[in-house]
Structures are given as structure tokens and as C-alpha cells.
Structure 1
Amino acid sequence: MEFLKAYLDYAVFGILGLMGFIALWITFERFFYYRSVKWQEFSHHEHLNIALSRNLTSLSIIGANAPYVGLLGTVLGILITFYDLGQGHDLDTGAIMLGLALALKATAAGIAIAIPSIMFYNGLVRKVDVINAQYRAMQDGKRDLSA
């Protein structure tokens, strides 16, 4: 229990920090890719769609699971708080409230990672839809000219 007590915050915030870094990296990578993609050069719609949607699943996974990582940290923090209270044989409400408040910071951090991740994911999916629509319109225009 002492090991968990000593390293819980480092583990939870380390994982959430890594998730946030990866989410930001994917967001910037996709943003710059979408700005430079030459969608007119793709021979088939599905090849374009595969290229455009690369890494978006990872961004969605981070957004969906960051609150759970934070919640796990909160639950473990609460367990540690109750364990310490049980070992001390006293019911100090100040200690209980402090332990619970400190445990909740993990959930807040998880939500703070999840909200922007999902916002970025939705924005990037919208950009994929726009580029796909432009590609289909270009393909339809070529077919009209050849007819």
C-alpha cells in the first residue's frame, strides 16, 4: 500500500500527460497534413479516405479513455485515504475531506485531457468529410466533362 501511496500521482498523471502529448501530436500532424494533402492526385476515393483518417482512431481512443484513467486514479486515491483512516483509528473529518479532494484531482485531469481531444477529433473528422466531398465533386466533374 505504501508503494501505491507514494507513486499513484506520478503514475496517473504520467499516463494522462502521455495521452495529452500524443493527442496534441496527432492533432498537429493531421492539421498540417490536411493543409498540404494533394487530394486531386489520389486515384481512388478509398485511398484518399484511408490517408485522411489515419491516426484519428487513436485520438478518439484517448478522448474516450482519459476520464477512465483519471477515475481509476480517484478510486485508488480514495482507497488510500480510507486505508490511512482505518490504520489511524480516528475520524478526523478534515483528513477525510483533504484525502478525497486530493483524490478527485485525477478525475479532473482526465476530463481536462478528454474534452480537447474529443473537440480536436470532431474538428478533424469534419475536415475529412469536407476533403472527401471536394474529391467526389471533382470526380463527378471529370465524369461530366467526359460524357
Structure 2
Amino acid sequence: MDIELLKHLVDYGVIALLVFMSFISVWFFIERLLFFKSIDVKVYKTKKSCELAITKHLTIIGTIASNSPYIGLLGTVLAIMLTFINMSSGDIEATKIMASLALALKATAVGLVVAIVSMIFYNILSRYAEEIESRFDEIEEI
């Protein structure tokens, strides 16, 4: 198999995975916001059942936030390894090497963007969840 083709498969496969992860993060963020806007805490009999409903899908967003930099880094490492393999075959043009390394670093950059955005989503939703839980506590006290 051609090294260039393998490099593009590794790079764009990782980018595609990160784009998919960001889509999931955005999807669950919007879903949770809509849920939080329409929630009635009086429906829940216990605080635990309310808490479980409120925090649903937050773990997924948190997992995406914490793992997307690693997936981006994996893409970068694999692309750099393929660049070294390409260099070892005697193809040592500086422009090709720099283009390959820049393409490899793109995976890390995309992974960091997905992580930052997902972490912002997670923090916003966590704060909303805390506010809703405190509303449940207020109703319980009455």
C-alpha cells in the first residue's frame, strides 16, 4: 500500500472520528439544554431520581472532552511515524516533510478544539444541573 495513501487514511480517519465526537457533544448539549428548559422538578419523587435524569448524557460529553486530545495526539503520532517511514525510503525533500508534519499536527489541533468546546459544554450543563437540584431541595423543604 502506498505510504501517502496510508498517511491520508490515518490523518483523515482521526479527523473524521473527532468531527463525529464533536457532533455527538453538540447534539447532547442541545438535547440537555432543551431538557433543562422544560424540566419540572415536582415530577420526581426523590432527589436521586431527579439527579439521575438531570445528569444523563453529561458523562458522554465529559468523556469526549477528556479523550479527544488523546485521539488527536494518536493521529499526530501515526502520521509522524508514516512521515519517518517515507523519509527512510530516501524521499527527503524538505517541503514534503514539512507538509506531512503540518498535516500531522492538524489532528492534535482538531482534538484540542473538540476538547475545549466539549469541556465548555460540560461546565455549562453541570452548572444548570446544580441549579435544578437546588430547586428540588427548595421544594423538598416546603
What's the TM-score, normalizing by structure 1? 0.89
Residues 99-136 of structure 1, C-alpha deviations (whole Å, 9 max, x = no match): 21111000000011110100000110110000001110
Q: How far is the alpha carbon of 1:11 from its aligned partner? A: 1.0
Unaligned runs of 5+ in 1: 142-147
What's the TM-score, normalizing by structure 2? 0.92
Q: Which residue of 1 aligns with 2:13?
A: 11
C-alpha distance in structure 1 between counterparts of 2:107 and 2:7, whole Å:
14
Compute the RMSD of aligned alpha carbons: 1.4
Structure label with greater radius of gyration? 1
Superposed, 1:113-124 pairs within 5 Å as: 113-124=114-125
C-alpha distance in structure 2 between counterparts of 1:94 and 1:15, whole Å:
28
Residues 5-49 of structure 1, C-alpha deviations (whole Å, 9 max, x = no match): 241123111111110110000000000000001112211100000
Confirm whether residue 101 of structure 1 aligns to residue 102 of structure 2: yes
Q: Which residue of 1 aligns with 2:64?
A: 62
The higher-RCO structure (CA 8 Å, 6+ apart) is 2
Larger mean CA deviation between 99-108 and 5-14 belongs to 5-14
C-alpha distance in structure 2 between counterparts of 1:27 and 1:17, whole Å:
15
What amino acid is the match of 2:80?
I
Q: Secondary structure of the equivalent of 1:82?
A: helix
C-alpha distance in structure 2 between counterparts of 1:6 and 1:29, whole Å:
34
Query: How many percent of aligned residue pairs carry the same amino acid?
Result: 39
Contact 2:11 2:76 in 1 (8 A): no
> How many residues matched?
140
Unaligned runs of 5+ in 2: none
Larger mean CA deviation between 131-140 and 2-11 belongs to 2-11
Q: How far is the alpha carbon of 1:138 from its aligned partner? A: 1.3
Q: How far is the alpha carbon of 1:94 from its aligned partner? A: 3.0
Structure 1 residue ranges, 4+ long, deviating more than 4 angstroms after superposition: none
